[in-house]
Each structure stands twice: as C-alpha cells, then as structure tokens.
Structure 1
Amino acid sequence: MTSTPDAPLGSRIIDDKSPICVPFILDRFAHYQKQCSEAASSTAPVRPFIVGINGVQGVGKTTLVQTLYETLQDREGLETLVVSIDDFYLTRADQSALAAAHPDNSLVQVRGEPGTHDVALLASFFDAVCNGQPARVPEYDKAAFSGKGDRAAPTPKNPGRLVNGPGQRPLQVIIVEGWCVAFRSVEPGAIEAKWRQSGASPDSMSSKLHTHKLEHLLFVNEKLTYYDSALTNRIDALIHLDARKTIYVYEWRREQEAALRRLRGTGMTDEQVGQFVDAYYPAYELFSEGVRRGIFGSHRGRQLRLIIGKDRQVKDSIIL
C-alpha cells in the first residue's frame, strides 16, 4: 500500500482497515488450519486460533473488531469470541490493595498500566479455552465506584457468558483486543536510558516518563513479564493499529468524550481526559517500539502493522 499524507482531522472517517485486515486474518487462519491438520490427533481438541488487536485508545479498535467478528462468525461460519484485556482488570478490592501497597507510585493508583490486570485470571481463562474446556468470560464494569471500575460479580441470574459449554460449538477463533495486547517487557537498562532522555528535555509534550520515578517504571516493566505466558505467547496473529504519532491519543480521546457529552450530556472534560491518558502514556512510550519491530521474532508473516494518521485512516501497511 502506498503511503499517503494525513487528511484534515475533520474529514469523514471511513472503514479502510477491515479490507486490509480481513484477508490477512483469513490467510493466517488457513495456514493455521493446515498446521493443525498435519499435526492432527484423534483425541486432542483443536486449539482456537488467537488474533491479537493492539492500538492506542481511540485509534479504531472497536469498529475493526466488530467487522472481524461479523466476518468470521457470520460469513465464514467460524465460532468466534471477542474479549478485551480490559475485562481482566483487577477487582476494585485488589486494585485498592495494590494502590495502598505502593502509595507513591501513581502508575498503579488506578487501573491502566500493566500490573493492574488479574494475570492469574487471564492465564486460567486462556488455559481453559485453549484446551477446549468451558469457561466464563469475565466482564469489567468501568462505571462502577464512580468510574473507578470493578469486575462484574457473577450472580445466579447473570453468571456470565459461558463458552465451550455443553451443547455449544467449540471456539475456533478468539479475538483479544486492547491497548497493551502484545506488549513485552524490555531490558531494564533500556527503560533507564529512555527515562534519562526524557528527563533531559522535561518540557517535551511527547514524553511523560520524566514525571515518574525510575523504580516505578521498572515495577510496571517487571509486572509485564507475566503477561507473556498468560497471553502474548499464545497469539497466532497480530494486528497493530499504530498511530503515526502516539501523541494523537490525547486528541482522539478528547473527541470521543466530546461526542459522548453531546450524546448523553455526560463525559470527561478535556482536563480529565488528559489526566486519564497520562496514566497509560508511559507504557505506550516504553513498549510500543517492541510491537513495531514485531513480536514473533524470526516467524515472519504473522503480524500486520497499519500506520494510522491523525484522521484515523490508514497511511501504510506492513507485514512483519
């Protein structure tokens, strides 16, 4: 695809992502089916094909995921599940305990950064679905506790969505989306180098690292190591919606909240949006570059990187 310049921000947004992503996913799924056929066992269940969707807030993940789901489930007839890494955030009680244990670390005072997810739940859920076993899909209520959020507690009337249950078709495809899906930890020395570089020019609007202590960034980095076995190493194909400039996330989130205020009469102010995105931005700075290089090492062809302009439209596509 030929690179194109950014269109004006106010231009009409069209779905130019799914025409690129759908063929990529179907091609990778065909490769996966062939591998499964060659290694077929009469007793072992076929493990679902797992697609990761990574992208900063507001880049268009939700719209793309809906199209992928409709294509795979309805047109291709594949039993497909969509889950968000957001639904694996810690419960309100556990998040409060984490914040209290690290009172001077602003990165873990609210949900957001790696370390604020229930990695044990993430691992047990994917253990179950990858083995064809029944599992309940967790659901996180972001509106609970005045917006601080909590995991929705199962009740007898609403125990949570069951997959791979009795009488149900076994899952064939799982789409897992989220802002930090496929992030991997980096060498501590690289964290320190970026932190020092940020501190050398603290007035830069494109970096937030200097506003945090080095040990707090290293804490998040260490927590991220546990995501590999729980999720990242299980991903079969990845779509990376990569903002041409990460700083776009602030304007995209302001636009979303402005639209919400017009629609519902409620939503975050611009100042609140800034504070909200600030909680996520250090992870974008530290771990996005690893995703850009590719998460599959020498196994080429399994990652699609779409470079997204300020207008949220695709400017270039790269297979890694």
Structure 2
Amino acid sequence: MAAAPDAPLQTRVVDDKSPLCIPFILSRVQKYREQHSAESNARPFIVGLNGVQGIGKTTLVRALAQILQEREGLATLVVSIDDFYFTHADQLALAAAHPDNALVQYRGEPGTHDIPLAKAFFSALCQNQPVRVPQYDKSAFSGLGDRLPEDSWPTVTKADVVILEGWCVGFRPLDAATVEAKWKGASRTLHNHKLEHLLFVNSCLHDYNTLTDLLDAFIHIDAEDTEYVYSWRQEQEAQLRQERGAGMTDEQVIKFVDAYYPAYELFTDRVRAGIFLPDRPGCQLRLVVGRDRSVQDKMVL
C-alpha cells in the first residue's frame, strides 16, 4: 500500500464552480427545449454530477439548485446516488454471496446500489408521474446504513431539472483487458484485490449504463490529483471531531477511502475522456480543481 498522504491542510470550500456550471446547464436546457418543443409533456432535463468525496459536491449542488429554482424559475430536484444503496439486509446478502470480495462487503462500490429501484424511480420521473424519492440513512446499524421506510420518503410531483449527484455517477464499464491492464500497472489500491473481484464490480456497471444514458448533460468536478480525496476526507473528519467530539481518525479515513479508491483508479480516465463521446459532443463540462478545491481548468467535451 502506498504511504498515507501528508497531514491535511485546512481548506475552505468556496463556490467558484456554480458560476461556471449554471451557463452550461442553461445552454443545454435551451437546446433540450428546442429539440422537444413539439412535445406537450416533455420529461425533466437530467444533469449528472460527479466528483470525488470531499471535493465540494454538496456545496455545489445546493448552490445550483437554489439558482435554478429561485433565479431561473426551474423546479429543481437533487437526487443522490447514495440514496439508492441496497437495504441493509440486501447488502448483507450481497456480502455473504461474495465473502472473499472485500469490494462488496460494505456499501460503496458499483454493485452495491439497487439499480432496479433507480430505474423505476427515473422511469416515473420521465413520465412526469408523482414519485417518492428514496432516502438512505448512513448512520443506521452503527454506520453500516439502511434505507429509510418508504412511507417516510418525500414525494415529488413536478421537476423541470433533476440533478443526479454522486461519486460514481457517469462511470462506464471497461472491457476486461483494460481492467486487467490497470490491475497489472502502477496503482494505489488495485493490487490489493484479485482481478476477478475487480471484474465483478466492472460487470455490475453495465446495469448503471441505463441511468447514464438518461443524462442530458454531465458535470465532472475533477481533481488535479485524485489522491487529494484522502486529505479532503481527513479535513472533514477533523472538523467533525472538533464540532461534535466524534469522527474518524486519519488512519480510519485512509482505510475508508481505500475501499472506494479502486473505482477511481479504474473508471476516472473514461469519465475524463467524455462519457457521451463520440456521439454527443458538447454535453459534458469538466472542471479541474487544485488542492484548495479552486477551479484550475475548464473544458467542454
């Protein structure tokens, strides 16, 4: 295993991203409406937003939703991929079915989401039907997590724009030879797992393509160095320890992020190259941020 990152510097998440994202979203919404102008009941415009943990997704989607709703008059719904995790019971069953695969012992990696639930949810949204929005409680079962009862889920009846955010939104499966080549190459975490276990996670991503193909636009908040995720998560936990008296230690954060990091190493290159290309150019915005989370580069793919 690679050495732990240096002790984190305290940085503040500043929203320099929504001023770049809003014009992009509005331009795509306009094109979408022009293409569907003849339809009396067009489905909502769906934006995918991807970013590694700690990069500032929550701050960004909150700002985007507020601007789209209040300034632009677009009814905006934010949905997290995390809310589609398996129930606690189903996650235990998945772990038991693959007892030697560390990648699926806990929620996180592709393959630990209830994709049929997500498909049914987005199918109802796209038909402009009232639908309950799934909710997931990460604190349940001493942090193992569980889905909240359906009768507690909020109901949405109208949405002009839907933002689907999450750390693995937009990931596409790779061919087996590419997975093997990455596994054999230099990496931080891939060598900690058997090739067959990585291939299992990769195979699960085929089901996620249905959701990715629904996206009308995609925003990728990328990092100059993906390993910044370790320091960013350590900062968050240090703040929790200071404010609440509880939070993961730096060593626990490294172990926690290591469980997610194989997917970053496998699938980020494909996201960077453009998840819609070559068929749908101009639909992806990529913002690259530095160690302080400020935008260093911008490109439309």
TM range (shorter): over 0.9
SS at match of 2:64: helix
Q: What CA RMSD, in Å, does the superposition of the two structures yield over aligned residues?
A: 1.3
SS at match of 1:280: helix
Matched, 1:51 2:47: yes
- Residue equivalent to 2:26: 26
Distance 1:13 1:179, change over 3 A: closer
Counterpart residue type for residue 236 of structure 2: Q
SS at match of 2:285: strand
TM-score by length of 2: 0.95
Q: 5 Å matches for 1:75-154?
A: 75-154=71-150
1:9/1:310 contact within 8 Å kept: no
- Residue equivalent to 1:163: 156
- Residue equivalent to 1:242: 222
Q: Report the Cα distance in structure 1 between the residues aligned to 2:196 and 2:13, rounded to whole angstroms.
A: 41
- 1:165-223 per-residue CA deviation (whole Å, 9 max, x = no partner) reads xxxxx21100010000000000110000111113xxxxxxx520000000000000000
Q: Report the Cα distance in structure 2 between the residues aligned to 1:9 and 1:94, rounded to whole angstroms.
A: 38
TM-score by length of 1: 0.89
- 1:35-54 per-residue CA deviation (whole Å, 9 max, x = no partner) reads 111xx235xx2110001110
Matched, 1:197 2:197: no
Aligned-residue identity in percent: 62
- Residue equivalent to 1:252: 232
Q: Report the Cα distance in structure 2 between the residues aligned to 1:114 and 1:232, rounded to whole angstroms.
A: 13
SS at match of 1:234: coil
Deviation at 1:154, TM superposition (A): 2.7
The partner residue of 2:284 within 278, 296, 303 is 303
- 1:125-175 per-residue CA deviation (whole Å, 9 max, x = no partner) reads 0011011111100000000000000001134xx3x11112xxxxx211000
What runs of 5+ residues in structure 1 fail to find an aligned partner?
A: 1-7, 165-169, 199-205
Q: Report the Cα distance in structure 2 between the residues aligned to 1:278 and 1:120, rounded to whole angstroms.
A: 27
- Residue equivalent to 1:180: 168
- 1:5-42 per-residue CA deviation (whole Å, 9 max, x = no partner) reads xxx954654221111111111111111111111xx235
Q: Report the Cα distance in structure 2 between the residues aligned to 1:115 and 1:18, rounded to whole angstroms.
A: 31
Q: Report the Cα distance in structure 2 between the residues aligned to 1:191 and 1:41, rounded to whole angstroms.
A: 42
Counterpart residue type for residue 196 of structure 2: E
Q: Report the Cα distance in structure 1 between the residues aligned to 2:123 and 2:12, rounded to whole angstroms.
A: 42
- Residue equivalent to 1:68: 64
Matched, 1:233 2:233: no
- Residue equivalent to 1:167: none
Counterpart residue type for residue 87 of structure 1: D
Q: Report the Cα distance in structure 1 between the residues aligned to 2:165 and 2:215, rounded to whole angstroms.
A: 11
Distance 1:252 1:132, change over 3 A: same
- Residue equivalent to 2:261: 281
Deviation at 1:301, TM superposition (A): 1.0
Q: Report the Cα distance in structure 2 between the residues aligned to 1:12 and 1:154, rounded to whole angstroms.
A: 36
The partner residue of 1:222 within 189, 199, 203 is 203
Runs of 4+ with deviation above 2 angstroms: 8-14
Count residues with an aligned counterpart.
293
Matched, 1:319 2:300: yes
Distance 1:60 1:127, change over 3 A: same
1:114/1:220 contact within 8 Å kept: yes
SS at match of 1:46: coil
